[in-house]
Amino acid sequence: MAEQPEPSSNGSKLLRTLGVESTMRIDPWWGLVVLVIILIVVLCVVSADPFWNMLRFVSDGILITVIITVSSFVLVLVLGLFGGLGRLSQNRFIYALATVYVEIVRGIPLLVQLIWWYYAFPAVIKEVGNSLGIQVLADYQANPIAMAIVGMTVCYGAYMSEIYRAGIQSIPRGQMEAARSLGMTRFQAMRHIILPQAIRVVLPPVGNEFIALLKDSSLVSVVAVTDLTRRGREYMSTHFNPIETWTMVALVYLVMTLLSARGVAWIEKRSKFER
Amino acid sequence: MNSGEPIIQIKDVHKHFGRVHALRGVSLDVRKGEVVVIIGPSGSGKSTLLRCINRLEEYDAGNIVVDGISLDNAKNINIVRQEIGMVFQSFNLFAHLTVLKNLVLTQRVVRKRSNEESERIALELLNKVGIPDKAEAFPIQLSGGQQQRVAIARALAMNPKIMLFDEPTSALDPEMIKEVLDVMLDLAKEGMTMVVVSHEMGFARAAADRMILVDEGQIVEEAVPDKFFASTNERTKLFLSKVLHM
């Protein structure tokens, strides 16, 4: 290892002080985002009848898709952390619990899970309520959006657990040993030493999970959630124009995923250097 | 050095790694202010012995008492570890923190010191180990010798009563070994209790109160440096001929 600091960090510092970075380093992939947006705008202007009308019709569905994706993802980040730590736990019971969760969830198709949460889970609650005589449970009505969020969270939480686990395991053992030898508890070492380093490692796969979750959220259209996909189907069934409808739905998803990818790239770049 | 009660008492300690019997009944007392240098071939158990002292490795049988607290029934091992600084072969600086924050974080989290006090102590110690100008650097930007000196400073920031060194210069380029050994020599002169696993015979000659040869999980010989280097024990002579040859 050389005495002088890394040349690359020197270089970026120089660029930063010259103010060059912000103007020169615009990610070329933004061009693709702009291109798709322009395409949508052109379609809406040139042929407002199906395209603009259709876009207005599904706009509430877009909002639902965003709500489900974002809230599931936030919950997935939390659940995944617990799952990942559980998979690394020295406590056999916690380890077994986390492992069973991950293995079961990964072995069942997401669509089947979503259907189970919407149709089977409320029925189970009602049965329990009836047999125990608890009226609140017996009257339970499933909220489609809530059940969709639960289903997406439980499923993606399992995958996220494995990502966290791999990220934590990628941090050299010596980091934990050094922290422990200084008198930190396991929890303190995790919180101050291991996780801050692991988070940088898992950022790319976590970003991918967000985009995958966004796309898979279209599956909730089967369980009574009026998301973008379901609204698209509703529009098509009254206007009978599959080409225009599904092209537009696809383009809207594409804008959202491309934007997310840019966001992920931006966060990754920012976290690469200090702090 | 003959006076004072032992601050580390190791009694008949055994340790197994699967089928390997790594420590086979090791007993050793270290008095306050004593510098003990442990040598031995690789795989002899010397590092394992060192790591048992702060329970980074748990021993299977026997007992270790550090500063009056038995590690067997230490309710809170973290309390014991706060008094034992450890320096590793691979430095193990916290990679995501600057040098200064490496020194500050543990003081704040474990010792519950204020930020100002922690920083003051940190800068004092960086000065002591000779790298006050690297406080804002990240570990990866430092040479191995500098990283190891930061690691020593980080351990000292906790005001330990004992310092353990696990082959602190083995991962260093030759020209960086001296800067680390100099810091260790200063510490020894100040009266720090030190247990050092190292093959730096120059350091042992200059600083050790006692030298120990460990082989196949047992203490083969234990003597003051002058006697140790003039040992008539065949095993010691053979090993010394190898390390001194370097």
User: What 3 state SS string does chain A have?
Assistant: CCCCCCHHHHHHHHHHHHCCHHHHCCCCCHHHHHHHHHHHHHHHHHCCCHHHHHHHHHHHHHHHHHHHHHHHHHHHHHHHHHHHHHHCCCCHHHHHHHHHHHHHHHCCCHHHHHHHHHHHHHHHHHHHHHHHCCHHHHCCCCCHHHHHHHHHHHHHHHHHHHHHHHHHHCCCHHHHHHHHHCCCCHHHHHHHHHHHHHHHHHHHHHHHHHHHHHHHHHHHHHHCCCCHHHHHHHHHHHHCCHHHHHHHHHHHHHHHHHHHHHHHHHHHHHHHCCC
Helix A195-216 crosses helix A50-87 at what angle (to 10 degrees)?
Answer: 140
Instruction: Say if residue B13's pLDDT is above 70.
Output: yes
* A137 in any annotated domain: yes
Report the gap between the CA of B102 and the closest CA in chain A (Å): 10
End-to-end CA distance of chain A: 22
Write the CATH number for A73: 1.10.3720.10
Sequence letter at residue B173: D
* A271 in any annotated domain: no
Q: Are strands B210-215 and B218-223 parallel, antiparallel or unpaired?
A: antiparallel
Q: Which of A98-102, A158-162, B231-235 has the lowest mean pLDDT?
A: B231-235
* A151 in any annotated domain: yes
Strand order through the sheet with B20-31: B20-31, B6-17, B61-66, B69-70
Closest CA to B7 of B160, B233, B185: B160
Count up the domains in chain A and report the number: 1
* A216 in any annotated domain: yes
Cβ pair B92:A172 closer than 8 A:
yes
Q: Hey, what are B181's tokens?
A: 């050994």
* A158 in any annotated domain: yes
- For the full predicted model, state whether its pTM sits above 0.80: yes
Note the pLDDT tens digit of each residue in B41-68. 998 999 999 999 999 999 999 999 999 8
Cβ pair A182:B110 closer than 8 A:
yes
Note the pLDDT tens digit of each residue in B100-148. 999 999 999 999 999 999 999 999 999 999 999 999 999 999 999 999 9
On the CB side of B218, how many CA atoms lie within 13 Å of its CA?
A: 7
Domain residues for the domain of A201 are 47-262
* A254 in any annotated domain: yes
Complex ipTM value: 0.91
Cβ pair B141:A174 closer than 8 A:
no
* A11 in any annotated domain: no
Residue of chain B with shortest Cα separation from A2? B143
CB atoms within 10 A of CB A28: 7
Helix (H, G, I), strand (E, B) or coil at B241: helix
Query: For residues A114 and A121, what is the distance between their CA atoms, to the nearest angstrom?
Result: 10
Cβ pair B56:A177 closer than 8 A:
yes
* A19 in any annotated domain: no
Q: Which residues of B193-213 are buried (b: 16+ CB within 10 A; e: fewer)?
A: bbbbbbbbbebbeebbbbbbb
Residues on chain B bordering chain A, Cβ-to-Cβ distance under 8 angstroms: 54, 56, 78-79, 81-82, 84-86, 88, 90-96, 98, 105-106, 109-110, 137-138, 140-144, 151, 154-155, 158
Mutate to test the interface with B, among A168, A182, A202 (most CBs of B within 10 A): A182
Residue A58: what pLDDT? 94
pLDDT over 90, % of chain A: 78
Residue A266: what pLDDT? 87
Torsion of CA A168, A173, A176, A177, to 10 degrees: 170
Query: For residues A69 and A106, what is the distance between their CA atoms, to the nearest angstrom?
Result: 19
